[in-house]
Amino acid sequence: MPVTPTRWLAEYAWLPEHAEPTPDVLIEVEDGRITAVAPLTPGSTPPAGVEVYGDAVPLPGLTLTGLANVHSHAFHRALRGRTHGGRGDFWTWRDQMYAVADRLDPDTYLALARAVYAEMALAGITCVGEFHYLHHRPDGGGYDDPNAMGAALVEAAAHAGIRLTVLDACYLTSSVDGRPLTGPQRRFGDGDAGRWAERAAAFQPADPHARVGAAVHSVRAVPADQLRTVADWARERQAPLHVHLSEQPAENDECRAVHGRTPTALLAEHGVLGPHTTAVHATHPTSTDLTVLGDSRTGVCLCPTTERDLADGIGPARRMADAGIRLSLGSDSHAVIDLFEEARAVELDERLRTRRRGHFAPLDLLNAASVAGHAALGWADAGRIAVGARADLVTVRLDSARTAGVPPVGAFFAAGAADVEQVVVDGRVVVAEGRHLTVDVPTELSSAIEAVTPA
């Protein structure tokens, strides 16, 4: 592996709180942290002790901080392009997803997740949150290591060169009214929240690139009287807590029928919401739900490419932001792995809804894709090109067929994953000249998917 330089000179760099990228920025790194950021624009004065050019390696194009993919189901990548043969909705798609889930074991999951996480690195993603519920054998029995599947994810992220937060999901029932898990769902469950907590507590990877958080899969999957057990587990550890919320109207209807309230109200009643909690999707909230989420300082992770792929609907992003809800982004089912596409979809979906333009500034979209996402995953020291922050740098070409002639500030409306030229994670080059340095991503994706896809 080539020696990682410690000084870069970015043609343009998007610095924190700047509405537009800044030209000619010197970035110095030591031990995986940014130690100096010096704009060298005419009339500026570099910080004392900072050499103006020296041995700095040029970064042609636009350099961003690392992007955070807040919501991932790595094994869903095997479904890309395979679920469009007819009509249906989320529930019919789910049957195809379960067929893949039924074929995974720790070895095949490692191979698939390694390739998927490396694909994320190629797209400028330096940290991912894996919403993990594939805990046990297909028959529901445990592996010799009860967390073998989670350990495979940790190893996969290490090979891909990105950071990982394993969001260990509690998944106990198949419906809001408490029907038992059946078929492929059996491997998701631990019996009750207490046993989930015991297994999750035993999963403590020592790897510095990995952390463990918690997840309530949904109000369908965790009975109301066990929600607080999961919330308390996360709160005691100051760990991130995530939850699928109001992804489909059917979820809302079932929750009202059983509990007499919306999923958001139920989660609030049982202590799930709060500053360390991220609600995923929240596509169909009521106005009162938005107030509850905002007042509790709960974040929302939008996954626009999955929400449109599954015909789930468009979440009210602008109303969320106006309610004080911090927004982050995820690629979820990986119909697309491209945080630029997820970011611009937040704005473009609002245009479709309202027939008006200009709901989110480019800086808002960058923050959702970076600093807000890292914070939602428990990495608050990442997501900014600033002194003291983790040295995550993503350089995007401004001379491709997509970006030629586009001003740097327009990158989120023009660039895509294919325009990412170089990726640095914690000061280490992972992607150079648009290629992953250690993983042959197309080859490994093809072989890993073939191994788990039903004939």
Active site residue 242: no
In tens, the pLDDT along 175-198 reads: 999 999 999 999 999 999 999 999
Residue 404, both tokens:
């030629």
Q: Judge whether 77 and 112 are in contact, CB under 8 Å.
A: yes
Measured between its terminal Cα atoms, the distance across the chain in Å is: 38
Between CA 282 and CA 404 the distance in angstroms is: 36
Q: What angle do CA 127, 342, 425 make, to 5 degrees?
A: 20
Active site residue 102: no
Q: Judge whether 420 and 60 are in contact, CB under 8 Å.
A: no
Q: Judge whether 133 and 153 are in contact, CB under 8 Å.
A: no
Cα 93 to Cα 80, 182, 186: the distances in Å are 11, 17, 18
Between CA 170 and CA 254 the distance in angstroms is: 19
Q: Catalytic: which of 281, 284, 374, 436?
A: 281
In tens, the pLDDT along 241-276 reads: 999 999 999 999 999 999 999 999 999 999 999 999
pLDDT tens, N- to C-terminus, the chain (455 residues): 445 568 999 999 999 999 999 999 999 999 999 999 999 866 555 555 555 566 899 999 999 999 999 999 999 999 998 877 676 666 677 788 888 999 999 999 999 999 999 999 999 999 999 999 999 999 999 999 999 999 999 999 999 999 999 999 999 999 999 999 999 999 999 999 999 999 999 999 999 999 999 999 999 999 999 999 999 999 999 999 999 999 999 999 999 999 999 999 999 999 999 999 999 999 999 999 999 999 999 999 999 999 999 899 999 999 999 999 999 999 999 999 999 999 999 999 999 999 999 999 999 999 999 999 999 999 999 999 999 999 999 999 999 999 999 999 999 899 999 999 999 999 999 999 999 999 999 999 999 999 998 76
Q: Judge whether 221 and 170 are in contact, CB under 8 Å.
A: yes
Between CA 81 and CA 90 the distance in angstroms is: 15
What pLDDT, on the 0 to 100 scale, is given for residue 208?
Answer: 96
Q: Catalytic: which of 309, 312, 332, 364?
A: 332
- Sequence-distant (6+) residues with CB within 8 A of 355 are none
